Amino acid sequence: MDTKMDSISVIRPSRRTGFFLAAACLFAASALAFAQEVTTQLSSQQTRVGQPVQMMVTVTGGRAELPQTLSVNGLQINLAGQRSSSSAQFGSGGFQATTSTTYIYLVVPQFEGEFMIPAFDVTVGGRAFQTKPMRLSVGTGSAGGQAPPPQSAPGQPQQPRSSSSSSTNARPYFAELILTKKKAYVGEVVPAELRFYFSSRMSGQLGDRPNFGGEGFTVQKFSNAARREQVIDGETFQVFSFQTSITPVKIGTLAIPVAKLDARLQVPGSAPQGIPDIFGNLGGMFSQSQDVAIETKPSSIEVLPLPKEGRPDDFSGAIGQFTMDVTASPKKTEPGEPVTLTANIAGKGNFESMAAPTLTADEDWRSYPPAEKITTADSIGFTGEKKFDFTLVARKDQTLTPGLTFSYFDPDASKFETIVQPPLPVDARAATASTAPGPLPSTPITTDAPATPPPAPTGTPDIAAMASGASSWLSILQRRDFWLANAALAIAWLAVATILNVRRFAASSAGARAARRRKAHQLLAELRATDPKLFDEKAVQYLCIRLETDPLSISPRLDALTLPDDVRSAIEKILHREAESKYATGTSTPPSSEIRAEALAALAKLEACREK
Amino acid sequence: MKNNFALLAALFIAATPFVLHADDLDNARAQFKDREFDKSAVLFEKVSETSPSAGIFYELGRAYDGLGNNARAALSFQRSLLLDPRFAPARTALREAQTKLGIPQSKPRWQTKLAEFVPLDPVSLVATALFWFGAFFFLISIFSDHKKSRVLVSVASLVIAIGLLTSVWLSDPRVAHRDTAMILASGGATALASPAEQSEKIASLPEGSLITILSQRGRWFFAKLPSGANGWLLTDGVVPVIPNS
């Protein structure tokens, strides 16, 4: 029960009941029972056939047990609901609270006449009470308030007609089934619509879906309820319609049983005599809840067999009116690559049970069962399109796809139709020896080719032998040995770079200068421990290297240096002694240790000295 | 004499796996020829574990195909293509297996196309050699006369080599599919919004679908689905395309 009838004219019972229940709970703790009492009352003592009246049984002072139905010939009396009320008063006995419950019976007259509702037993707190008999006068009026109007013919205006000229007040709700055809072929989809009408004076809740089905036909899933308003005989009705379709599966006259929809309705009632209905404009405080099953009228449809004459060989059950559009993609393929042949069948009919079109001239193609997809344009799947994707692989190079044929039965024209799609141009290359997967053990499904035994699975090792590639799940770039080899190469590169750099430095003037400086430093160190006879000669060698000149140019080079006089003097003496030892005829005396010490001190100062 | 015997024994022991492998392979092929596809598949599986190769996986896939196990066949063909992306029969067979499984054919990416035409491992080696040639030539160039032209040649070699290595890295399916797994669960798998069986369903994946595993939490994989969305799947029936990855 989830479809609510939207009406502001009625106060919803749940709220009212909740309020009274809350009030009852509030007073329950201090409630003291008044004297127990049972009273009965009719909302009206006069009514017409089909127009319900309410019978209210008010019980004070305790919980009551009442019958659910009362049996009176000509009256349908059912317990429809209850409501509670509480009151409090101060009296001589102090504070007293009273709770009363009103049980509401709905009395629906079946025919006219004078009726006596007999007394019946009511048990209150274990004590038996008896109600008073009541008289009800039923006059002539509309017959069968719940009877549906006659069924509309297919294609006729969708106005429901009253079964009599009486007011629709007598029929606050009714239903009808509309079939678009009275004659159909077996397997044909026949759209249908179930309509449920409710007077706008009512509110309530509807069941999810109608209960509809029967033998000899299948029913499509119902659409969601569509709601609209419609004026019938001057009264406004809310109309809830459910779209569906039925598919006959049996030949002959097919009885379509009633379709039922459960509803809980708030039926307006009239106030008891002497009690003003102050909420009358809001639907009345005396409305009550009523569970009803609204039914359509039984119907029938004539189901014909499909003719045998002219039935195409490839007919596979499609009934309706269809068109077919075929495309091939891609237009050009690599060797062994599949072509997808797409057939779009659009129109109206039984898409669910429609089989795929048939491939023609497909001997040189391998084909597989097509993928199917239905796209519906309405809620019941009657109109729309069905797409079939055939995957085709050329056995030989092909310039045309296979053709397609699609046969269906047109129920309006009462004859079979066949749509023939000629082959489409395509440049499909067969798998070459290097790409062919070899004969598969399972036979591909072909539509026209005669059944052949599965080919022997030979050639697989030969094909497998054509494979090369890796035997590792790691790429070369992911392998450790690759990176180790590269690391070794990187080290070699760095080594070569270092060597070349050193060689270049050595070959450069700065490198030569640094080399000379190192040699000078080394000579100076050796000079300290050298033979005194060779001291002057080695000292001059040092000076030549240090000053980057020859022995004869030492003196001019010294001018370029800012030297203390003692250093310069000591160096001059070295040069003099060395020249003397070289050019003098006599034997020269080696310098004394003091002279050597003085010379070494001067050379050390020269070592530290910077050029001007 | 003693030493000779020990050497022979060692050689025999070392050669045993190859002998057994050859026997299993011959048996597997014989079983396949006799249409004993189940026995053949078991033997091919055994061989593929010890000596994986594109050819062995192709034959394994054919055995599964004979059994009608399209998902296992697709996995084997996929593995065959990982080891040799240029092996066209495996590519065709994979396409057919996927067609039978109802897996839509996706348009191949440039990396896949490149892998179909280029022998990746040899190119990797050539590119590496070119890289080091360029590196050493660069070194020599900058320490020699006629620097400019030599440096240009060496830099060009380095750039080409790095470009080739990058392309190979991006195209190698063993790299691209290192986190890829295939749904082998009978009836496919359901991707959920969170790792709980009651959570919202995102997609139903048919058998043979490929997913990319992003992470794992307990018995759940968080994966990228073929549609591009991410979802959670139970690990049962999800098999990595690269074994033991």
Query: Tokens for B166?
Result: 């990058």
Give ∠ CA A473-A479-A482 in degrees, rounded to 5: 140
pLDDT digits (tens, 9 = 90+) for A221-271: 787 788 888 888 778 888 888 888 888 888 888 888 888 888 888 766 655
Indicate the residue of A442, A472, A500 with minimum beta-carbon distance to B143: A500
Mutate which: B83, B107, B142, vs A, most A CBs within 10 A: B83
Closest C-alpha to B241, from B63, B70, B78, B23: B78
Considering only CB atoms, which chain B residues are within 8 Å of A391? 99
How close B36 comes to chain A (CA, Å)?
11
Amino acid identity at A530: T
Tell which wins on pLDDT, A587 or A565: A565
Is the pLDDT at A34 greater than 80? The verdict is: no
A507 and chain B in contact, CB less than 8 A: no
The predicted pLDDT at position A434 comes to 52
pLDDT surpassing 70 at residue A33: no
Residue B190: the pLDDT is 92
Distance from CA of A380 to the nearest CA of B (A): 25
Give bridge partners of residue A77 from the DSSP assignment. A70, A107
- Return d(Cα B1, Cα B4) in angstroms, integer: 5
Q: Chain B: nearest CA to A392, how far in angstroms? A: 10
Contact B84 A468 (CB under 8 A): yes
pLDDT band at A551 (very low <50, low <70, confident <90, very high): confident
- Cβ A393–B92 below 8 Å, yes or no? yes
Q: What is the mean pLDDT of residues A488-507?
A: 90
Name every chain B residue with its beta carbon within 8 A of the beta carbon of A475: 120-121, 124, 168-169, 172, 174-175
* Cβ-defined contact of A465 to B55 (cutoff 8 Å): yes
CB contact, 8 Å: A498 with chain B?
Answer: no
For A104-123, how does the pLDDT look when each residue is reduced to its tens digit (9 = 90+)?
787 888 888 888 888 888 88
Distances (CA, A) of B190 to A301, A403, B75, B131, B197: 44, 38, 19, 47, 10
CA distance A558 to A546: 11
Q: Quick one: pLDDT band at residue A86, thresholds 50, 70, 90?
A: low
Q: Give Cα separations from A11 to A82, A205, A269 (angstroms).
A: 15, 13, 12
Buried b (16+ CB within 10 A) or exposed e, B118-129: bbbbebbeebbe
Chain-chain contact of B65 with A440 (C-beta, under 8 angstroms): yes
Across chain A, what does the average pLDDT equal?
76
**Nearest C-alpha neighbor of B182 from the set B107, B75, B93, B100:** B75
| Whether pTM exceeds 0.80 | no
Mean pLDDT, residues A179-200 taken together: 87
CA distance B4 to chain A (A): 33
B180-183/B210-217 β-pairing:
antiparallel
pLDDT given for residue A198 in this prediction: 85
Q: Looking at residue A40, what is its pLDDT?
A: 87
Type of residue numbered A335: P
The chain B residue lying nearest A439, using CA atoms, is: B62
- How far is the C-alpha of B187 from the C-alpha of B234, rounded, in Å? 14
For residue B50, the chain A residue with the least C-alpha distance is A471
Between A170 and A449, the higher pLDDT residue = A170
Give me the residues of chain B with pLDDT under 70, please: 1-22, 245
> Is A346:A384 a contact under the CB 8 Å cutoff?
yes
Among residues A524, A564, A559, A517, the alpha carbon closest in space to that of A540 is found at A524
pLDDT at residue A332, as a whole number: 85
Across the strands, what pairs with B240? B181
Q: What is the reported pLDDT for A157?
A: 34
- For the segment A398-446, what is each residue's pLDDT rounded down to a tens digit? 888 999 999 999 998 889 999 999 899 999 888 765 555 555 444 333 3
Q: Percentage of residues in chain A with pLDDT exceeding 90? A: 10
pLDDT at A15 over 50: no
Residues A140/A143/A149/A151 CA torsion (nearest 10 deg):
-130
pLDDT tops 70 at residue A323:
yes
Tell me: pLDDT of A327 over 80: yes
Encoding tokens for residue B65?
Answer: 């195909």
pLDDT at A339 over 50: yes
State residue B6's pLDDT score: 63
Token pair belonging to A353: 């049970």
Task: List the single residue in A with minimal CA-CA distance to B35.
Answer: A457
Which residues of B fall within a CB distance of 8 Å from A463? 58, 89
At A286, is the pLDDT very low, low, confident or very high (cuts 50, 70, 90)? low
β-pair partners for A288: A267
Beta bridge partners of A407: A418
Separation in Å, CA of A421 to nearest CA in chain B: 24
Contact B29 A461 (CB under 8 A): yes
Query: Cα separation of A516 and A546, whole Å?
Result: 7
Q: pLDDT digits over A155-177, tens only?
A: 333 344 333 333 344 578 889 88
CA distance B59 to chain A (A): 6
The DSSP code for A242 is E
- Determine how many CB atoms are found less than 10 A away from the CB of residue B42: 16
- Give pLDDT, residue A343: 93
Cα–Cα dist A497/A488, whole Å: 14
- Stronger pLDDT, A141 or A580, i.e. the higher one: A580
| Residues in CB range of B9: below 8 A, 6 or more apart | none
Contact call for A477 and B125, based on CB within 8 A:
no
* pLDDT value at residue A344: 92
d(CA A509, CA B241): 64
pLDDT value, residue A441: 40
- The H or E element spanning position A91 is strand A75-91
Residue-wise pLDDT tens digits, A209-219: 888 888 888 88
Query: At residue A470, what are phi and psi to the nearest 5 degrees?
Result: -90, 165
Confidence at residue A449, expressed as pLDDT on a 0 to 100 scale: 38
CB pairs under 8 A between A and B: 157
* pLDDT tens-digit readout, A39-50: 888 878 888 877
Question: Residues, chain A, total?
Answer: 612
Express each pLDDT in A577-610 by its tens digit.
Answer: 888 887 766 666 788 888 888 888 888 888 777 5
3-state secondary structure of A240: strand
- pLDDT for A292 beyond 50: yes
Whether residues B88 and A393 touch (CB distance < 8 A) is answered with no
pLDDT of residue B242: 92
Given this model, what pLDDT does residue B21 score? Answer: 64
User: What is residue A97's predicted lDDT score, i.e. its pLDDT?
Assistant: 56
Least reliable range by pLDDT among A122-126, A277-281, A551-555, B123-127: A277-281
Chain B hits for A438, Cβ within 8 Å: 62, 89
